[in-house]
């Protein structure tokens, strides 16, 4: 059972640009609880990423499920994108039962802050780059269906 209820389309919260998280005003315990809850919700729903707007919080925070474990990214900014792009299938917990092909940069570099406020630089490629771009789009009020081609509904067997 997810910790947080995931908001689905057409909820207008998913279309708002999120505000930067201010480390001076948020309490560390509150932030840790929020990140922990996002991770638990993501894992409980078999997600590979989850952004705060998907639970109704318009702040620049997302969690990513990486092979080394899940982690939070706060105020992420893509600083470099490869010229090369590739098509890949995407779905989204906020757009249930819908899948589509989305063209994304093969490699990206981003900076973000961890839950202690430390600035981190991350280079990603392949699936990790795709997930990061998808979640950062959520923080900008963009859904994968805005960029997708060959949109299909999941067929229940």
pLDDT in tens, 59-97: 999 999 998 999 999 999 999 999 999 999 999 999 999
Pick from 104, 103, 100: nearest CA to 149: 100
pLDDT at 1 over 60: no
Q: Is the pTM of this model over 0.85?
A: yes
Task: Look over the chain and give the mean of its residue pLDDT values, rounded to a whole number.
Answer: 94
Q: State residue 157's pLDDT score.
A: 55
DSSP assignment of 86-153: EEEEEEETTEEEEEEEEEEESEEEEEEE-TT--EEEEEEEHHHHHHHHHHHHHHTT--GGGT-EEEEE
Is residue 135 annotated as part of the catalytic site, yes or no? yes
pLDDT level of residue 2 (50, 70, 90 thresholds): low
pLDDT of 154 reads 80
Q: Residue 34: pLDDT band by 50, 70, 90 thresholds?
A: very high
Q: What are 127-144's pLDDT values in tens digits?
A: 999 999 999 999 999 999
User: What domains sit in the chain, N to C, each tagged with a CATH number?
Assistant: 12-153 (3.90.45.10)
Q: Say what the pLDDT of residue 24 is.
A: 87
- pLDDT > 90? residue 99: yes
Q: Which of 20, 30, 90, 135 is catalytic?
A: 135
């Amino acid at each position: 059972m997810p910790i947080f209820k995931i908001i689905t389309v057409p909820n207008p919260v998913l279309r708002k640009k999120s505000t930067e998280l201010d480390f001076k005003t948020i309490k560390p315990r509150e932030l840790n609880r929020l990140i922990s809850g996002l991770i638990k919700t993501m894992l409980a729903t078999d997600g590979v990423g989850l952004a705060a707007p998907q639970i109704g919080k318009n702040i620049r925070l997302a969690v990513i499920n990486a092979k080394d474990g899940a982690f939070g990214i706060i105020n992420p900014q893509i600083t470099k994108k490869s010229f090369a792009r590739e098509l890949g299938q995407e779905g989204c917990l906020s757009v249930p039962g819908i899948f589509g092909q989305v063209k994304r940069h093969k490699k990206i570099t981003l900076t973000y802050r961890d839950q202690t406020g430390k600035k981190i630089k991350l280079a990603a490629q392949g699936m990790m780059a795709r997930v990061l771009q998808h979640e950062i789009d959520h923080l900008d009020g963009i859904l994968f269906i805005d960029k997708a081609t060959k949109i299909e509904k999941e067929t229940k067997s």
